[in-house]
Amino acid sequence: MNTPTMTPVRRARAILTVFLKEVRENLRDRRTLTSAFLTGPLLTPLMFMLLINFTINRELDKAEQPLKVPVIGAQYAPNLLNALKEGGVVPQPPVADPEQAVRDQQIDLALRIRSSYPEAWRKGEPVQVELIYDSSQRDSHTPVDRVTDLIENYARMQGAMRLVARGLSPATAIPVVVAKRDQATPQSRAVLLFNVLPYLFVLTLFIGGMYLAIDLTAGERERQSLEPLFANPVPRWKIFLGKLAAICAFSTASLVICLVGFSVVGHFVPTGKLGMELHLGPSFALHVLLLQAPMIVLLASLQSLVSAFAKSYREAQTYLSLLMMLPILPSVVLMVMPIKPQDWMYSVPLLGQHLGILDLVRGSGVSPLHLALCLGGSAVAAVIAAGITMQLYRSERLAISG
Amino acid sequence: MIEVKDLHKAFGAVKAVDGVTFAARDGQITGLLGPNGAGKTTTLRMLYTLMKPDRGQVLVDGIDAAVDPLAVRRQLGVLPDARGLYKRLTARENIDYFARLQGLPEDELRTRREALVRALDMADIADRRTEGFSQGQRVKTAIARALIHDPRNVILDEPTNGLDVMATRALREFMRNLKAEGRCVLFSSHIMQEVGALCDRIVVIARGRVVADATPDQLRAQTGESNLEEAFVKLIGSDEGLAA
């Protein structure tokens, strides 16, 4: 022990000191590492890819695969049956009670041709064939459409032939024709599928910073190390900024890993089969990072705020899992009621990022105005949230653990 | 030198500290003695500026804690009631963290740290992560990080709490060394023997007020009791919350 001397004091590096210590300490925590760098950021791209692949392949399969349909009374309409077979339908032997079989989900649909069919056909009267299905079953939808289209096409063709046989032009029977001109580009079609992407990115940020936010406030108080920390000659706002920077570093790293994951996974999504294009490469990743930059600070501040309020580590965990529901709002709202994006919406945190990322996916890019609104609006929110948390850090109660 | 003048602090309707005045001088060990809940910890928390007093003044080496709390904290080495360590850091890393927050240059940090590691006899645990440390090892680490910046004034809140006999003896010896180096040592305790054996001056607190401020001998004379324990009981008015 030396004799008491006054030490020259340098405090400019306090924020950096806190930041480096928190990063180093948390890099040694396996649970934080796993959730921030492994499960959090990589699970979403993987799940996303599986989901998209499943959806796309199911749709494609339905359109190309032979469709097995039990037909009752096949012998009454051999020509119709031939037309169906050309369209990929494989007629199956009749089932005894088709209504019951459909209700029991044994079959998706059944076709019934009445014995009156040949008689009516000969007389040139309209004949009815019945399709038995259950529309509350999602699976039956595409097969029903396929069989209906085939039968209607057959009917139109036969109708046209009858008119020709009577010396009339088939066009007389079709006074109005609808010409569908879809203005969707391949990219804009992808947007429908990729509506959930912005939420996944926010979720990744959230999970990436969550354990740190809890650990650095509620956790440190619970372990009784906050009081000795505050006994050091460092203003509390500097301690808070150091901790905030550490949370941001982890959530940013989490998002970067996630974006790299998506750019890899993007190659395995068979969007080409649906006539779509998808760009999840470096340019997309950099733009997402830029859009999310203020969101990173905003989320970290909110997480710190909530954990500073909580009385214990567990309580903080509970509150934060509730807060995690918040970022899903824009995705859900926009999916349920598609509203036309207005300029001001870009300045709303979360919503702005959502719209911006969808613009990127759509391939049109984010306009400078929208980019400025998005960054500005969220930055203001981030500064406010950080300011409130800083105020909370100054309160006496924050440090007291017992 | 720590001076406390007429400190008040209330939590709601509860007056935790209700007019506390005393001084702890350099080169002396001052004991803050009182039963559990007497207001010792709250008084100390106002000293190291964790809490703001409702009324009254705290001066550390002449610096007013209300005017320049950072300068006050720089003059203090504090072992608070809460002495949590960072369990994923080693003892040395725990000490270094506080040293850097105190603004110590790296070369001075190393010299000071190694001196403390020797003085506290903790060379064998210095590079271990503090998770799983015994109570004694934790207190040693917490004291080392509190004194890393060579503070003139040392505040220890119930330092021997939870320590075994050997660790307690070592800690008392360490406190005597701090005194010999001319520092102002202020510590709180509810253990009379400890206060009696160590202190040059005893401040007895009960129900948020100072009921006595004297040397151990004066206390005995004042109360007419030759036994310190009886003297305390007489001062406090009951023997509740005191340990022999």
Q: Is there a contact between A120 and A76 (Cβ–Cβ < 8 Å)?
A: no
Predicted structure pTM score:
0.81
Residue from A7, A17, A212 whose CB has the most chain B CBs within 10 Å, to mutate: A7
Chain segment A132-166, per-residue pLDDT in tens: 888 887 666 678 888 888 888 888 888 888 888 88
Confidence of residue A325 (pLDDT cuts 50, 70, 90): confident
Q: What is the CA radius of gyration of chain B?
A: 18
Q: What is the number of other CB atoms lying within 10 angstroms of the CB of residue A197? A: 24
Mean pLDDT (whole number) for B62-79: 95
Beta carbons within 8 Å of B238's beta carbon, 6+ residues apart: B35
CA angle, corner B5, sides to B2 and B10, nearest 5? Answer: 110
- Say if the Cβ atoms of A11 and B73 lie within 8 Å: no
For residue A238, pLDDT over 80 is answered with: yes
Closest listed residue to residue B19, CA positions, set B201, B208, B147, B170? B208
Q: Does A362 touch chain B (CB under 8 A)?
A: no
pLDDT at residue A309, as a whole number: 87
Q: Is there a contact between B151 and A7 (Cβ–Cβ < 8 Å)?
A: no
Name the residue with tokens 């830029």. A290
Q: Is there a contact between B153 and B131 (Cβ–Cβ < 8 Å)?
A: no
Distance CA B21, CA B211 (A): 10
3-state helix, strand, coil in chain A (%, to 5): 70, 5, 25
In chain A, what residues touch B83 (CB-CB under 8 Å)?
Answer: 224, 228
pLDDT at residue A192, as a whole number: 64
Q: Between A4, A24, A29, which is nearest B152 by CB?
A: A4
pLDDT at residue A188, as a whole number: 57
Distance CA B123, CA B125 (A): 6
For residue A194, pLDDT over 80 is answered with: no
For residue A1, pLDDT over 50 is answered with: no
- 3-class secondary-structure state, position A342: coil
Bridge partners of B205, per DSSP, are B210
Find the range with the poorest average confidence among A262-271, B63-72, B141-150: A262-271
Closest residue in A to B103 (Cα) is A10
For helices A78-86 and A141-165, angle between their N-to-C axes, nearest 10 degrees: 120
Distance from CA of B82 to the nearest CA of A (A): 5
Chain segment B185-243, per-residue pLDDT in tens: 999 988 887 888 899 999 999 989 999 999 988 888 887 777 777 778 788 776 555 55
Chain segment A55-101, per-residue pLDDT in tens: 777 666 666 678 888 999 888 888 888 888 888 888 888 888 888 88
Q: Which two tokens stand for residue A206?
A: 């959230």
Distance CA B169, CA B47 (A): 27
Q: Is there a contact between B90 and B128 (Cβ–Cβ < 8 Å)?
A: yes
Mean pLDDT (whole number) for A24-51: 87
Q: Which two tokens stand for residue A15?
A: 């924020």
**What percent of chain B has pLDDT above 70?**
97
Beta carbons within 8 Å of A286's beta carbon, 6+ residues apart: none
For residue A3, pLDDT over 50 is answered with: no
Chain segment B72-81, per-residue pLDDT in tens: 999 999 999 8
Per-position b or e across A241-278, b if 16+ CB within 10 A of its CB: bbbbbbbbbbbbbbbbbbbbbbbebbeebebeebebeb
Mean pLDDT (whole number) for A287-295: 94
Which one is predicted more confidently, B66 or A127? Answer: B66
**What percent of chain A has pLDDT above 90?**
32
Closest listed residue to residue A150, CA positions, set A87, A108, A91, A92? A87
pLDDT at residue A51, as a whole number: 77
| Phi, then psi, of B186 in degrees rounded to 5 | -120, 120
**Side chain identity at A316, as an amino acid letter?**
A
Residue A341: exposure state from Cβ atoms within 10 A (0-12, 13-18, ≥19): middle
pLDDT at residue A184, as a whole number: 63
Mean pLDDT (whole number) for A115-138: 84
pLDDT at residue A332, as a whole number: 74
Q: Which two tokens stand for residue A162?
A: 């009858």
In chain B, what residues touch A226 (CB-CB under 8 Å)?
Answer: 82, 84
Distance from CA of B202 to the nearest CA of A (A): 24
pLDDT at residue B24, as a whole number: 96
Closest residue in B to A402 (Cα) is B82
Chain segment B121-172, per-residue pLDDT in tens: 999 999 999 999 999 999 999 999 999 999 999 999 999 888 888 889 999 9
For residue A276, pLDDT over 70 is answered with: no
- 3-class secondary-structure state, position B4: strand
Closest listed residue to residue A347, CA positions, set A356, A335, A359, A337? A356
Within chain B, residue ranges assigned H as helices are: 40-47, 69-75, 91-101, 106-119, 135-146, 165-180, 192-198, 216-223, 228-236
Instruction: Give whole-number Cα distances, B215 to B29, B172, B222, in Å.
Output: 11, 18, 10
In chain B, what residues touch A223 (CB-CB under 8 Å)?
Answer: 84, 87
Distance CA B13, CA A208 (A): 43
